[in-house]
C-alpha cells in the first residue's frame, strides 16, 4: 500500500516522541520478559478462563449472566474458549412482500445490529416494496466452491495431471457422496498457471450454507488424488485462495458463489413522492452519479450498502457473518419510468443456509422461525428474502440522500437531536428535497 511521504513520516516519528532516536528499534524488538498467562482451552473451563483473564477471577456479569452460563452447552459446537455471550439487539423490518421462485409471502425480517437508523431505513424500503405489490425475486444459481492448489515439476506434468482429473470426475463425485448426505459435486473448473494447477470444485450443498461440507468433501478428494493420481503433485493445499471464500472477488461476482439472486420492484410515482420524499428522476440521477463514483473508487459491482442489510440478517439467523465480505457485492439499478421507478438488485454470492452452523442455536432458529424459514427446504427462499431486504435498503438510503435526509435520520435515531443537523438540500431547480410536490413540478417543467 502506497502512503504519502508526509503521512508515513508522521506515523513513524510519533513512535520516537519523548525518547532517544534508538527508541523505535527498542519498541519493536521481541520481548521475552514476564510470564504469559495461558488461557485454559477445556470446553467446560469457563470459570478457569475468567481466572486467567480477570484480575479477581470474577466473570463480568454483562458477558456471563445466568442465561449465558445455561446456554454454554448449546454453544459447544459453535465456539471455542467460551466466556459468555453478547446481547445484540434485534429489531424487525417489514413485512416485505416477496413474489419469488422460492420465497412467496409477506416476511417480517429480524435484523441484529447496533447501528441506529438501519432497521428504520430497511423498514421504510420494505413498506414501499410491499405497497408496490411486492418484489419479484429469482434464484438463478446455487454452488459453493473450494479450490485446492497443486505444484508440479514442469508444465507438462501439470497438464497431464489436469487431463487425469477431468477424466476422474465420476470417481470424485463418488468420493464426495461418501462424506455427505446432502452435498454433491456439480462441476470442476481448472486454472493452469505454469506448473501450478488450481482445481475449483463446485458443490451443491442442499439447505446448508455448506462451507464446512465442501471443505470436508474436498479434503477427501485431495486424499484420493494423492493415492490415485498417475502424476503425483510435489505438494498441494486444500485451499489455494482461488475459491473467493470470505473475500470480494471478480470471480465470484461474475460466476457466483453460494446462491445467486436477482430481484426487482416497480414503484408507482405517487408512492415515491409520498414515502421516499423525492422523485423517480432524482433517484435515477443518483444511481448514475453513484455508479460512476463506484467505478472511480474501484468497487466490485455497483451498490450502496448491501453489507448493512446482510450483516444484520446474517447475525440474526445464524449465518457465517464473515461471508458478508463476499455476499455484499452485486449491482443495484434504478431507472425512472413513465409511471414511476424501476429498481433491481442482483447479488451473485449469497452464502446462506437454514440448517447447520449457527442456524440451530436457540435465538437464531427463533429468528428463522419468525419468517417461517427454519429447517430444511428453505435456504433458497431465505436467499430471496436477503435480496428483498437488500433492495429495501437500497431504495431507502438512496431516497434519503436524494431528499437531504441522510444525516438528519442518523442524528434523530442515534442521538435524538434532529434539530442539530442542518438540512442539506439537493440543488435542483430551487426545490427543497422536503417538498416532493415541488420536485415533481420542477421535473415536469424540464421534461
Q: What per-residue confidence (pLDDT) applies to 325? A: 93
Identify whether the C-beta of residue 339 lies closer than 8 Å to the C-beta of residue 168.
no
Q: Is 0.85 topped by the overall pTM?
A: yes
Q: What per-residue confidence (pLDDT) applies to 38? A: 85
Sign, CA dihedral 365-185-254-344, equals: negative
DSSP string, 171-196: HHHHHHHTT-SS-EEEEEEEEEETTE
- In this structure, of 294-298, 392-396, 428-432, the range with the lowest mean pLDDT score is 428-432
Q: What per-residue confidence (pLDDT) applies to 424? A: 53
**Radius of gyration of the chain from Cα atoms?**
26
- The set of cell numbers assigned to 45 is 473451563
Query: DSSP character for 208?
Result: B
CA–CA dist 364, 85 (Å, integer): 13
Catalytic residue numbers read 115, 246, 320, 410
- All structural domains of the chain, each given as residue ranges with its CATH number in brackets, are 90-142+249-442 (3.90.770.10), 148-237 (3.30.70.420)
- In this structure, of 2-11, 173-182, 384-393, the range with the lowest mean pLDDT score is 2-11
In the block, which residue shows the cell 430481484?
263
Percent residues over pLDDT 90 in the chain: 65
Contacts of residue 267, Cβ cutoff 8 Å, sequence gap at least 6: 128, 129, 132, 276, 280, 340, 341, 342, 343, 395
CA–CA dist 46, 335 (Å, integer): 55
Nearest CA among 275, 270, 264, 265 for reference residue 405: 275
CA–CA dist 245, 146 (Å, integer): 8
CA–CA dist 373, 376 (Å, integer): 8
189-223 pLDDT per residue, tens: 999 999 999 999 999 999 999 888 999 999 999 99
Amino acid at each position: 500500500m502506497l502512503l504519502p511521504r508526509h503521512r508515513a513520516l508522521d506515523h513513524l516519528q510519533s513512535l520516537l516522541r519523548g525518547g532517544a532516536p534508538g527508541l523505535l528499534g527498542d519498541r519493536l524488538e521481541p520481548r521475552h520478559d514476564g510470564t504469559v498467562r495461558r488461557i485454559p482451552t477445556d470446553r467446560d473451563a469457563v470459570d478457569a478462563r475468567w481466572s486467567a483473564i480477570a484480575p479477581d477471577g470474577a466473570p463480568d456479569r454483562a458477558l456471563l449472566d445466568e442465561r449465558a452460563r445455561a446456554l454454554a452447552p448449546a454453544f459447544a459446537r459453535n465456539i471455542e474458549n467460551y466466556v459468555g455471550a453478547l446481547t445484540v439487539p434485534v429489531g424487525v423490518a417489514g413485512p416485505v412482500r416477496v413474489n419469488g421462485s422460492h420465497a412467496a409471502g409477506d416476511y417480517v425480517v429480524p435484523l441484529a445490529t447496533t447501528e441506529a437508523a438501519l432497521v428504520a431505513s430497511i423498514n421504510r424500503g420494505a413498506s414501499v416494496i410491499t405497497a408496490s405489490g411486492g418484489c419479484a425475486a429469482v434464484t438463478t444459481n446455487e454452488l459453493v466452491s473450494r479450490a485446492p492448489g497443486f505444484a508440479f515439476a514442469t508444465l507438462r506434468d501439470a497438464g497431464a495431471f489436469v487431463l487425469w482429473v477431468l477424466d476422474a470426475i465420476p470417481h470424485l463425485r463418488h468420493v464426495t457422496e461418501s462424506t455427505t448426505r446432502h452435498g454433491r459435486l456439480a462441476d470442476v473448473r481448472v486454472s493452469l498457471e505454469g506448473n501450478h494447477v488450481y482445481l475449483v470444485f463446485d458443490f451443491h450443498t442442499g439447505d446448508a450454507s455448506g462451507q464446512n461440507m465442501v471443505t470436508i468433501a474436498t479434503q477427501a478428494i485431495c486424499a484420493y488424488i494423492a493415492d490415485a493420481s498417475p502424476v503425483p503433485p510435489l505438494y498441494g493445499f486444500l485451499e489455494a485462495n482461488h475459491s473467493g471464500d470470505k473475500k470480494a472477488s471478480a470471480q465470484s461476482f461474475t460466476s457466483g458463489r453460494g446462491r445467486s439472486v436477482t430481484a426487482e420492484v416497480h414503484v408507482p410515482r405517487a408512492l415515491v413522492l409520498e414515502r421516499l420524499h423525492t422523485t423517480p428522476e432524482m433517484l435515477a440521477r443518483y444511481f448514475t452519479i453513484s455508479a460512476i463514483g463506484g467505478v472511480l473508487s474501484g468497487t466490485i459491482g455497483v451498490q450502496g450498502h448491501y453489507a448493512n442489510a446482510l450483516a444484520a440478517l446474517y447475525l440474526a439467523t445464524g449465518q457465517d457473518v464473515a461471508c458478508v465480505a463476499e455476499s455484499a457485492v452485486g449491482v443495484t439499478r434504478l431507472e425512472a419510468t413513465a409511471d414511476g421507478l424501476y429498481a433491481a438488485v442482483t447479488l451473485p454470492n449469497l452464502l446462506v443456509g437454514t440448517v447447520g452452523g449457527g442456524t440451530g442455536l436457540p435465538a437464531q432458529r427463533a429468528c428463522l422461525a419468525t419468517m417461517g424459514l427454519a429447517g430444511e427446504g428453505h435456504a433458497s427462499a431465505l436467499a430471496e428474502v436477503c435480496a428483498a431486504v437488500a433492495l429495501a435498503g437500497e431504495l431507502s438510503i438512496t431516497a434519503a440522500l436524494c431528499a437531504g435526509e441522510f444525516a438528519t435520520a442518523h442524528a434523530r435515531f442515534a442521538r435524538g437531536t434532529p434539530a442539530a443537523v442542518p438540512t442539506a438540500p439537493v440543488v435542483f431547480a430551487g426545490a427543497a428535497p422536503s417538498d416532493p410536490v415541488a420536485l415533481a413540478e420542477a421535473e415536469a417543467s424540464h421534461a
